[in-house]
Structure 1
Amino acid sequence: MTHPPVAPATPPGGPATPTPGPLSGYRIGVTAARKVEEQIALLERRGAAVEWAPALSVDPNQVDDASLRAATEEVLSRPVDMFVATTGIGMKAWLDAAESWGMLEDLLGAIRAAEILARGPKSVGALRRRGLRELWAPESECFEDVLEHLRGRDLQGRRIVVQEHGQSLSMVAHALRRQGADVTTVTVYRVASADDPEPMFAMIDLIADRHLDAVTFTSAPAVAALMEAAGVVGRRDEVVTAFQADVVAACVGPVTSAAFELWGVPTVFPERSRLAAMVKLLETELPSRGRGIQVEVAGHVLLLHGGLDGPDGTVLLDGVEVRLSPAPLAVLQALLVNPGTVVSRRELLAALPSGTAGSEHAVEMAVARLRAALGTRVVQTVVKRGYRLAVTV
């Protein structure tokens, strides 16, 4: 996998030199707009090179005060039988707005009188801070599980109010109406795309060209925004193919992951929907993808990131990146085909890049440079036969 020196955007706080760690040699894209400094710090502390391109506006949750007030008055116009809270930030914004209008107690009273369902722990927290108590919440945090909870129940004539989570839940409303419910959706805010789309366009190129190992997503709207931008520049199919084959789509939780289902993109997400847990998952997920060859040589851990294909593999020695010129890198790749097996000078000469002087002296020079970079004990000379890696048994 080639890694060009192009970055979609400078991470907050300026570019940083990654420190050695379990993600050394990996290049990871970050699409978050909020808490981005925390996420980038978590990745860079583990050695990753980070490319940042916000998919959404830094202040993405745009509240239309007049529309929200009108929706609140509609909710209060009739008794509510069931109330569904979907996001913590949405509930907080709605209740804060109602307080500013002098309508908070009426709204809390209407919700308190209803059967309250909450999609996840953040919405539960927002409700409880205002003295409201949910009757049920799914462990998965998926809205599909809320619908499953209601499926089969007699909802005929029951009034259900659903707080939307930044994207339209019109399909959910239709599904509930098919069960006979009287559904009112409340749009607290709409998610806005990033103000400057250029960093996202650059990120899309990196994904489509397989120059990233993974991309992280912390919200479903971010997934939608990236796919929309990919469509605008005509690379959506390439992005989908890259995610299906080489680039890991890492999501903070199942709700974000579900946004990829429409595109047939496989994802990974941690059991707990937390930033640190997502980053920790990448520590095991990326090395397990088989994109590198790792061996123990002369008491050191040697990783050729990118495997044996092409001249662009990143070499890590005990987690520290080592830059090799083409000739010593070619020798290392040849020695790694069967680690510990002796490779003759003639075979190593054939493995050297075109343009290298065609003599065994060129092999000796490449081996000397390899030893200078990785340590004199890493490559052993086998008299009259060739060279081998000093693989630790």
Structure 2
Amino acid sequence: MSAPTTAAAPVPPLAGFTVGVTAARRAEELGTMLERRGACVQHGPSIRIVPLADDADLERRTRDLIARPPDITVATTGIGFRGWIEAADGWGVGEALLDALGRSQVLARGPKARGQIRASGLTEVWSPASESSAEVLDHLLEEGVDGRRIAVQLHGEPLPDVVEALELAGAEVVQVPVYRWVQPENLSPMDRLTDTVLAGGIDVLTFTSAPAAASLLARAAERGLRDDLITALRMKVLVVCVGPVTAAPLEAVDIPTVQPPRSRLGAMVRTLESEAPSLARRLPIAGHTLELRGHAVLVDGELKALPPTGMALLRVLARRPGRVVSRADLLAVLPGGGDDEHAVETAMARLRSGLGGAKLIQTVVKRGYRLALDPTLPTVGPSPIGGHCVSGEDR
């Protein structure tokens, strides 16, 4: 009696794809979520957060609000509101700040902000069901803000439309930027990420804040690479943003983005999962299904992790499946260059072995090699541009 066969474990949805992470705050959490789904992650933070306790501008605005308490306070994030109160405690004015804010009408943009307001001993008077800054603005304008002083705790990005609308309605707005983002002290990881994008080694680039997007473009401009980066992000990379505010600097230069229905990290990763199939290319080859991903390939649903050389050869063959590719053209993509076409034969033998021995690649005597395409079956997906998995030290 033969032993029962064990079903192969399902391939993680992001296996074979390289995802770039530009975030500073919660970058480790995002990277872990992506890796659990099989992605290879390259981290190149494009911003850093100035610690609240060291932020002289925040301290100045806090003391100003204590001296002249606001009529209305808008808390946009729980972590931001809590950090503001903790920073004020560190400056010795925490109780004075809570007393000043307690004299105002406190609005919470969402449940996390509401929870931190209550944890600090204050009580909110209103919170929108949508967690939307636009709904907060509509509520304030309906209530009337002429002549009123409004403190708006920002959530990492400026809110120019909200602030301008309130000021046009007659309010005095005090913006409270509880995190301030600047360029990283070490620019090398961000530069490496940009270089990998330009080399075709990143399949997906993620953004969780507008300053991160703006900073990446600004740094590329400093290096004379801005136009090249914009072209790569338009044509070769899936750009995923946590929400519309984050996407704004990218869409301003016509870079298409994908966003989740709710501006949450988990929702962004789930959106990426749903978009991942569009990044793969599926080919009917010699009675098998070949699926090319960024730095790996699936043969009949089984993941085959190939070295960069093997993937480079396979991508060249897949650009024109079924057509013969000469040894000279294949030699051009091998590392080190040279003119010894026997190197192609050696690399091709390793590629065939990595694919599991199936006769997916045919040798055409004196001409070259081709994929054994089943011409009656359709191919699915984009032409492979793909990437490669970078070393873990880039995390």
TM-score, normalising length from structure 1? 0.71
CA distance in 2, matches of 1:355, 1:287: 29
Whether 2:154 is the aligned partner of 1:164: answer yes
1:374 aligned residue:
355
Structure 2 residues not aligned, in runs of 5+: 1-9, 331-344, 363-370, 379-395
Q: Which residue of structure 1 aligns with residue 366 of structure 2?
A: none
Amino acid at match of 2:233: F
| Matched ranges for 1:1-393 at <5 A | 21-57=12-48, 59-64=49-54, 67-138=57-128, 141-151=131-141, 154-169=144-159, 172-289=162-279, 291-295=280-284, 301-305=289-293, 314-317=296-299, 318-322=302-306, 325=310, 329=314, 333=318, 336=321, 350-354=324-328, 372-376=353-357, 379=360
Q: Is the 8 A contact 1:163 1:185 kept in 2?
A: yes
Secondary structure of 1:270's aligned partner: coil
Larger CA deviation: 372-381 vs 89-98: 372-381
Amino acid in the other structure paired with 2:291: L
Note if contact 2:22-2:45 (Cα within 8 Å) is conserved in structure 1: yes
Q: 1:183 to 1:269 in 2, by over 3 A?
A: same
User: What residue identity is the alignment partner of 1:302?
Assistant: L
Post-superposition offset of 1:24: 2.5
- Cα deviation for residue 178 of structure 1 reads 0.9
The whole-number CA distance in structure 2 between the counterparts of 1:331 and 1:30 is: 28
How much has 1:73 moved relative to structure 2? 3.1
**Against the structure 1 CA distance between its residues 126 and 261, is the aligned structure 2 distance closer, same or farther, given a 3 Å change threshold?**
farther
In structure 2, the CA distance between the partners of 1:77 and 1:303, relative to structure 1 (3 Å rule), is same
Take 2:319 and 2:229, find their aligned partners in 1: how far apart are those partners? 32
* Matched position secondary structure for 1:225: helix
The answer (yes or no) to whether the contact 2:73–2:107 under 8 Å persists in 1 is yes
Deviation at 1:53, TM superposition (A): 0.9
Residue number in structure 2 paired with 1:342: none
User: Could you say if the C-alpha distance between residues 148 and 369 of structure 1 is closer, same or farther in structure 2, counting changes exceeding 3 Å?
Assistant: same
Contact in 2 for aligned 1:160/1:181 (Cα 8 Å): yes
Query: Structure 1, residues 198-217: CA drift from partner, whole Å, max 9, x if none?
Result: 22122223334443111112
Secondary structure (helix, strand or coil) at the match of 1:156 reads coil
Query: 1:292 deviation in Å?
Result: 1.7
Q: 1:86 to 1:368 in 2, by over 3 A?
A: closer
The answer to whether the 8 A contact 1:206-1:212 is kept is yes
In 2: Cα distance, 1:135 partner to 1:301 partner: 59
The CA distance in 2 between the partners of 1:133 and 1:225, in whole Å, is: 37
Q: Find the aligned partners of 2:313 and 2:253 in 1 and give their Cα distance.
A: 42
CA–CA distance in structure 2, aligned partners of residues 246 and 294 of structure 1:
20
Paired residue secondary structure (2:261): coil
* Larger RCO of the pair (alpha carbons < 8 Å, separation 6+): 2
Q: 2-side partners of 1:125 and 1:188: how far apart?
A: 17
TM-superposition CA deviations, 1:34-67 (whole Å, max 9, x none): 333332233233332222111122x544444654
Judged with a 3 Å threshold, the aligned counterparts in structure 2 of structure 1 residues 245 and 109 are, in CA distance, closer, same or farther, namely: same
1:330 and 1:301, CA in 2 relative to 1: closer, same or farther beyond 3 A? closer
8 Å Cα contact 1:213-1:286 kept in structure 2: no
Could you tell me the percent identity over the aligned residues?
42
Given that residues 82 and 160 in structure 1 are in contact (C-alpha distance below 8 angstroms), is that contact kept between their aligned partners in structure 2? yes
Q: Secondary structure at the match of 2:29?
A: helix
The SS at the match of 1:41 is helix
Q: Deviations over 1:91-116 (max 9, x none)?
A: 11221233345543443343234332
SS in 1 for 2:41: strand
* Distance change >3 Å, CA 369–CA 253, structure 1 → 2: same
Count of aligned pairs: 346
Per-residue Cα deviation, 1:306-357 (whole angstroms, up to 9, x for no partner):
7xxxxxx8533312324575998489649955xxxxxxxxxx6x4343379x
TM-score of the aligned structures, taking structure 2 as reference length: 0.71
Tell me the amino acid that sits aligned with residue 216 of structure 1: T
